[in-house]
A and B are shown apart, each in its own frame.
Chain A
Amino acid sequence: MRLSKSWIVASKDFKVFLKKKNIIYSIIIVPLIVSILFPVLIYFIEHRNASGIPANVLTTLLPAFTFFYLILAGLIPTTLASYSIVGEKVEKSLEPLLATPTTDGEILLGKGISAFLPPMVAILGGSAIFMGLMDLVTYDTLGYNFFPNWNTGIILFLMVPLATIMSVEWNVIVSSRVSDVRVAQQIGILLILPFGGVYVAGEIGIVQLGVANDLLIIAGIMLVVDAILLYVAKTTFRREEILTKWK
């Protein structure tokens, strides 16, 4: 496996993404809205209500908000991965690419990098804005800066990358079965359902999204799912499979 080859493939994809405004918007706008919306919401609730939000409510609410970045990590790579793979399939550019002296793994990794890095940058950038603003609006109530903390670190630096990888792998598998970018995206975003399920489980108390042990258990399950999806994606992304069996 030569990383340089994968990076060439990824760099080309970045160039293509930069030319597609809808892709840029989908990467930047959603995390930005989430990052600004939640602090603004808290700010207004705090100022409209004379007593504000009690500190104990805030400390359960803030980790739940952070969990939204996990849902974004499942959502945003869908746009990129579907354009990167189904887009190439539709434009018939996969065949000449596969005819170059690169291995299937190198191309797959390149596609993975191009669908992984931009959402990671957007999510981490957005979360930095979120944490900064949230600390600003909750400091008076809490008396300390809630962010950053270890649990947020686990979510952003362990679970978000795992969710992004999962989304990329899922979209590779989906891309092999459809021949339309929009259909790929529609099926691709189904991946947010399990993350939504975990969020609901957190809300009704089945898991504690503010407890490190619970987060690490979820991360462990995600790691196993990632490994399974990687195996399936690798099996799907084979030259002969792509040229003769992909729709």
Chain B
Amino acid sequence: MIDTENLTKKFGDLTAVDNLTLHVNDGEVFGFLGPNGAGKTTTVRMLCCLISKTSGEARIAGYDVGKEVDSLKIRKLIGYVPDNVGLYDELSAYDNLDFYGKLYDCTEEQRRKNIQRLLTMLGLWEKRNIAAGTFSKGMRQKLAIARSLVHDPQVLIMDEPTASLDPEASKTVRDFILDLKKEKRTIFLNTHNLDEAQRICDRIAILNTKLMAVGTPKELERSVGGRKTEIQLDQMNDTIMAAVKRLPLGDIAVDGNKLIINVTNPEKENQMIVDVIVRAGGGVQTVTVVGSTFEDAYLRLVRQTT
């Protein structure tokens, strides 16, 4: 549904998005993760034909993002939730949606039905005639999501839809996205909330100007994060730490009397670590091999470029 090939955006000397190549399947919830300034919003704006690309290719449903003739068709295909909700505060919830329905060429009947359905799903139907300016942050975000769906788009592009929402409102929005997932819409979710991405997305891309990795959350954990060995000692001291640090291992962390070591091949490396600890006079209570968390994988990938 969404394809990019070496998609690049430069603002003067600054490269915001560097040779991004990815494929988003039809009906997939695709997470786009990255730190602030990673180029997520720039990518989304290019896909929505809001800003031009510097080089490379991008297609949505076969339409070329760079072509002027295709841009109106693409905009009609997609629903966009920007990071700032941008509602008309003076207008009622219904009028906000009705205005956008008209711009998307929906008939009066379609608008009436879609607005009622969406506002009901999001618990806002009773407040349809109230000015959007009086709504809470969570309600405004829900209304912005409803606005993006008023024309029943095939593709939904959301830019940090739960940022700055309280936990309850975030959950409502997440649950709604999961409902949309059941409707087999293609959802492109920009976020820097790892937990959210892990819970909602089928696949995730990690971006830090360049694409760092793509895969399911589990695949990313396994392929990027590697594994860890946790060794519970009788007593931790500097001699043991110095001895372990001399080994050719990954990052080492200390948590009380526990050593947490990033390993690539625990079957071989663990024996070596235990031998070194014992020779340094340490007593080993337990040795546990644990997988890296998604957060570990994300941080490792992001730090590769910083």
Chain A residues with CB below 8 A from B85, complex form: 92
Residue contact A99 to B87, C-beta cutoff 8 Å: no
Contacts A96-B144, A240-B51, A243-B51 given; does A12 touch B91 at CB 8 Å: yes
Q: Which of A97, A98, A101 has the most CB atoms of chain B within a 10 A radius of its CB?
A: A101
Chain B residues with CB below 8 A from A100, complex form: 75, 100, 103-104
- State which residues 229-287 of B face A: CB under 8 Å: none
Residue contact A96 to B50, C-beta cutoff 8 Å: no
In this complex, what residue of B is CB-closest to A9?
A: B103
In-complex Cβ contact of B82 among A99, A102, A103 (8 A): A99
Residue contact B99 to A239, C-beta cutoff 8 Å: no
In-complex Cβ contact of A95 among B11, B82, B104, B105 (8 A): B82
Q: Could you say which of A15-23, A57-65, A154-162 contacts chain B? A: A15-23
Residue contact B103 to A5, C-beta cutoff 8 Å: yes
In-complex Cβ contact of B90 among A5, A8, A19, A244 (8 A): A19
Contacts A98-B50, A101-B72, A101-B76 given; does A12 touch B99 at CB 8 Å: yes
Contacts A91-B88, A92-B84, A93-B88 given; does A8 touch B102 at CB 8 Å: yes
In this complex, what residue of A is CB-closest to B102?
A: A8
Asked if B80 is an interface residue, CB under 8 A from chain A, the answer is yes
Closest CB in chain A relative to B164 CB, distance in Å: 13
Closest CB in chain B relative to A46 CB, distance in Å: 46
In this complex, what residue of B is CB-closest to A17?
A: B90
Residue contact B86 to A94, C-beta cutoff 8 Å: yes
Residue contact A20 to B90, C-beta cutoff 8 Å: yes
Q: How many residues of B contact A (CB 8 A)?
A: 33
**A174 CA to B90 CA, complexed, in Å:** 24
**A20 CA to B52 CA, complexed, in Å:** 36
Asked if B174 is an interface residue, CB under 8 A from chain A, the answer is no
Chain A residues with CB below 8 A from B100, complex form: 96, 100
Q: Mark B197-227, 1 if CB is under 8 A from A, else 0.
A: 0000000000000000000000000000000
Residue contact A15 to B104, C-beta cutoff 8 Å: no
**A243 CA to B49 CA, complexed, in Å:** 12
Asked if B142 is an interface residue, CB under 8 A from chain A, the answer is no
In this complex, what residue of A is CB-closest to B11?
A: A244
Q: Mark B7-19, 1 if CB is under 8 A from A, else 0.
A: 0000100000000
Q: Which of B45, B72, B144 has the most CB atoms of chain A within a 10 A radius of its CB?
A: B45
Residue contact A8 to B99, C-beta cutoff 8 Å: yes
Contacts A91-B86, A92-B84 given; does A99 touch B91 at CB 8 Å: no
Residue contact B90 to A99, C-beta cutoff 8 Å: no
In-complex Cβ contact of B51 among A19, A94, A102, A239 (8 A): A239
Residue contact B95 to A15, C-beta cutoff 8 Å: yes
Asked if B48 is an interface residue, CB under 8 A from chain A, the answer is yes
Residue contact A92 to B91, C-beta cutoff 8 Å: no
A-B contact pairs, 14 of them (CB 8 A): A8-B103, A12-B88, A12-B91, A15-B91, A16-B88, A16-B91, A91-B88, A95-B86, A96-B86, A96-B148, A101-B103, A240-B52, A243-B45, A244-B51
Interface residues of B (CB under 8 A from A): 11, 45, 48-52, 72-73, 75-76, 78, 80, 82, 84-91, 95, 99-100, 102-105, 131, 144, 147-148
Known contacts A19-B91, A94-B86; can you find 6 more A-B pairs with CB under 8 A?
A12-B88, A15-B91, A91-B87, A96-B82, A103-B72, A243-B50
